[in-house]
A and B are shown apart, each in its own frame.
Chain A
Amino acid sequence: MSENNKHHISYGTYILVWAALIAFTSITVTIAGVSLGRYTLFIALSIAAIKSALVINIFMHIKFDEPIFKVFLGISGATLFIIFLLTFFDYIYR
């Protein structure tokens, strides 16, 4: 694993990603006060997913790591997605 971590990310990229995370958080807070009806949850979850992807890929260096870790994360992410999906069968049709 150590060989794969030789990839260096510039400070500029880190700051850019950090700014993007702050921006997305601001958007989340802002749209919480706007009535978007049935799309509110979808938009909030989409923004959360984008933020997670940025943190996982850049800050956690998964983008530059061995494929097996991407598989692990993929399985975890897919499981989480299915859990959300199944929960919505209750909330949407209740």
Chain B
Amino acid sequence: MADAVAVKNFYNQSTNKHTGILSWLLTKDHKRIGLMYMVAILTFFVVGMLIGILMRLELIAPGRTIMSAQTYNSLFTLHGVIMIFLFIIPGLPAIFGNFFLPIQIGAEDVAFPRLNLLSWYVYIVGAILVIVSLFLPGGPIDTGWTFYIPYSVRSSTNISMALFAAFVLGFSSILTGINFITTVHRLRAPGMGFFKMPLFVWATYATAWIQVIATPVIAITILLVIIERAFGVGIFDPALGGDPILFQHLFWIYSHPAVYIMILPAMGVVSEIIPTFSRRTIFGYKQIAYSSLAIAFIGYLVWAHHMFSSGMSDTARWIFSLLTFIVALPSGVKIFNWVATMYKGSIDPKPPFLWVMNFIFLFSIGGLTGLVLGSLATDIHLTDTYFVVAHFHYVMFGGTGTIFFAALHYWFPKMFGKMYNMKFARIAVVLYFIGFNMLYFPKFIMGYMGMPRRYYDYLPQFTTLQEISTIGSWILVGTIFFIFGYLFHALRKGKKATSNPWGGVTLEWHIPSPPPLENFEKIPTITHEPYDFSQLKEMKDE
């Protein structure tokens, strides 16, 4: 049914009377809004990445190389703020969630299309505020993305404005979450019960709950810090009788669940790609769906493992250490189920699948080193060292970042109606793997040897490992530009994609590439399980 009507699509059909850029800026179409997020988020990703490569260049040799210590402090803060708040948190839900969640449940759009557009504008306003904070008197913030008290109360840089930007960005996240929860509850196609939803929808749904429940905590915390800076109330500042550890509690009550805002949608994408390229239904569908909810819930209970050396009580330390180990269980359920799905499957190692293999390897290293940090005794040794930086990047970049590229390669033909060069894509996976491990693995070793994080300078014994890490950054960044290059080339000159180039069976593969304005000619009635590959023959007959 799909290719015969492929002429009309959401690029040439608009939800409003305008044409050109205005038809995009005033659109209510979830797919266009997803693409608008993509442009904005990728722009900030490139900026964050360039800041990262400058930091690595500074660290290629001991002492001053290309910048001052104060500039370095500002750059690592900016790198963190941009990558966390402007790339990883919104990345997968706002781009791929917006584009594919309504399609995967058989809906024409999200429940609140206007609110969806508002979320994008709020995101842009927040991002502009971050940028403005760099150039106002006082200069760019230098606290690190964690804004720890008391330094963030005393620093003369533009903390209040940067904090306010994070506050605004939080609203964008909450609005998107509310939209997705309502969409999943109200707009599922006839016949699509909760346990017939694709697992990406489950993961995005669980994420939406975290966005709605956890984000207000950081919003209130941010307001309290701004009030503290403006009026010296004494909520957090110990010099005024406040409690700086209370700030850390409040910050991590949001920011740890935020880690799951980042990783859960990525896990959802993995659960889509593995069955498609194994030609086999997912192993343990319900367990994966429930494990998403379990991760979302247990993720709330482990925040203080970021604070083992902060001076909080010993009782709290062992309780949070124990709870941290528990959160590994639902993550383990997912990994085992993914591997079991591949067992005896008919594996087709196309680029999206290879990206997922990359993810499983990198994320497993990130997850297992997390257990090292979750143990009280080893954490005391490794706190605030490069080990934490390496762990964090393996989980966030090796996990969510890698899956961002997996999702891009998986859904690119559907989103843009074009195919990219498979050979280039395979080369990119290999180069990415090499660059990534060269960049981040030496940090585990350096951290274990005692190299502290966020330091501008280092002792001579770290030089070789720092050099390897910097060279790795060149390979990784080069690979990412290579990826953007061949995808951009595919956009302009790529072969036309069919409606189902990978042989997937979820609903997005039943409609043309790119999809029409309201996705379906007629809202479908769901009769199959989400990963029932016996549908493939029927789909071909259509």
Which residues of A are at the interface with B, using a C-beta cutoff of 8 A? 68, 75-76, 79, 82-83, 86-87, 89-94
Sort A-B residue pairs by CB-CB distance and give the 5 closest, nearest first.
A93-B313, A90-B316, A93-B315, A94-B313, A89-B316
- Give 1 or 0 for each of B120-146: 1 = CB within 8 Å of chain A CB: 000000000000000000000000000
Q: Is the CB of B319 within 8 A of A89?
A: yes
Q: Judge if B314 is at the interface, Cβ distance under 8 Å.
A: yes
Q: For residue B209, which residues in chain A have a CB less than 8 angstroms away from its CB?
A: 75
Q: For residue B311, which residues in chain A have a CB less than 8 angstroms away from its CB?
A: 94
Q: Is the CB of B312 within 8 A of A83?
A: no
A-B contact sample (20 more), CB < 8 A, given A90-B304, A90-B312, A90-B315 = A68-B185, A75-B209, A75-B213, A76-B213, A79-B213, A79-B300, A82-B300, A83-B217, A86-B301, A86-B316, A86-B320, A87-B253, A89-B313, A89-B315, A90-B245, A92-B313, A92-B315, A93-B313, A93-B314, A94-B311
Complex Cα distance, B314 from A84, in Å, reads 17
Q: For residue B212, which residues in chain A have a CB less than 8 angstroms away from its CB?
A: 76
Select from chain B the residue with minimum beta-carbon distance to A76. Answer: B213
* Minimum Cβ distance to chain A for residue B208 (Å): 12
Q: For residue A93, which residues in chain B have a CB less than 8 angstroms away from its CB?
A: 313-316
Q: For residue A90, which residues in chain B have a CB less than 8 angstroms away from its CB?
A: 245, 249, 304, 312-313, 315-316
* Minimum Cβ distance to chain A for residue B256 (Å): 11
Which residues of B are at the interface with A, using a C-beta cutoff of 8 A? 185, 209, 212-213, 217, 245, 249, 253, 297, 300-301, 304, 311-316, 319-320
Complex Cα distance, B319 from A91, in Å, reads 13
Query: Interface majority SS on B: helix, strand, loop or mixed?
Result: helix
Q: For residue A94, which residues in chain B have a CB less than 8 angstroms away from its CB?
A: 311-313, 316
* Minimum Cβ distance to chain A for residue B253 (Å): 6
A-B contact pairs, 16 of them (CB 8 A): A75-B209, A76-B213, A79-B213, A79-B297, A79-B300, A83-B217, A83-B300, A86-B316, A89-B315, A90-B245, A90-B312, A90-B315, A92-B315, A93-B314, A93-B315, A94-B312
Q: For residue B319, which residues in chain A have a CB less than 8 angstroms away from its CB?
A: 86, 89
Complex Cα distance, B185 from A7, in Å, reads 24
Q: Is the CB of B253 within 8 A of A83?
A: yes
Q: For residue A91, which residues in chain B have a CB less than 8 angstroms away from its CB?
A: 313
* Minimum Cβ distance to chain B for residue A37 (Å): 19
Q: Is the CB of B304 within 8 A of A86?
A: yes
Q: Is the CB of B185 within 8 A of A87?
A: no
Complex Cα distance, B322 from A1, in Å, reads 42
